[in-house]
Amino acid sequence: MTKVVLATRNGRKVEELREILADVCSGLELDIVGLDVFPDAPDVVEDGVTFAQNAVLKAASAARSTGLPALADDSGLAVDVMGGSPGIFSARWSGGLGDRANLELLLKQLEDVRDENRAAAFVCAAALVLPDGRSAVELGRFPGSVAREARGTGGFGYDPIFVPSDQLNGDPRTLAEFDADEKNRISHRALAFRALVPHLKEHLRP
């Protein structure tokens, strides 16, 4: 198997990526591990100005420090009425106080915004960087709307307040009310990493 490092210490994201790629990487034998098995790998300053730049920064650092092909993603919530914010600052929107504080602050900022003006999208950039410096990056965009309150216990980040567009005319579940299989078929992260699969097959096929 080809060992590939995912540039995160978040075990949930490692498992999610394994599930996303399991059905679309036929012919590839990938052993995906997180940076938690490389305690000396440095943390990266995410000083890019786009999701794509930050994803490549993280993957490049992981590839250099481990000597392995590296995957990374950078993602966030872009709210139309806020000019695309929180965007690349999604994970630290509340000043580093965590997921719950981030979404509570966003709900407070949007409390006077009408339902028809609460359009948003989850955006993800997925990057592959090889130890020799070659790289590829792909984007996934998942449209929806911001709910008025958090609902659901699945997922993480802004999932409890994000209603996918195809739910708006039916059962208005948030992404946190989807089961893992449903989410992994349609999410922004799934879209981005599936778009990256041709690059994986080009560079990592045994």
Decide if 73 is catalytic. Answer: no
Give 83's contacts (C-beta < 8 A, 6+ positions apart). none
Give the side-chain half-sphere CA count within 13 A for 77: 30
Contact 32, 71 (CB under 8 A): yes
Cis bond upstream, residue 172 (ω within 30): no
CB burial of 156-169 (b: ≥16 within 10 Å; e: otherwise) equals: ebbbbbbbbeebee
Identity of the residue numbered 188: H
Which residue among the candidates 74, 115, 171, 179 is catalytic per the annotation?
74
Query: Partners of 30 in the beta sheet?
Result: 2
**CA 63/CA 46 separation, integer angstroms:** 16
CB atoms within 10 A of CB 142: 22
DSSP secondary structure code for residue 171 in this structure: -
Residues identified as active-site: 74
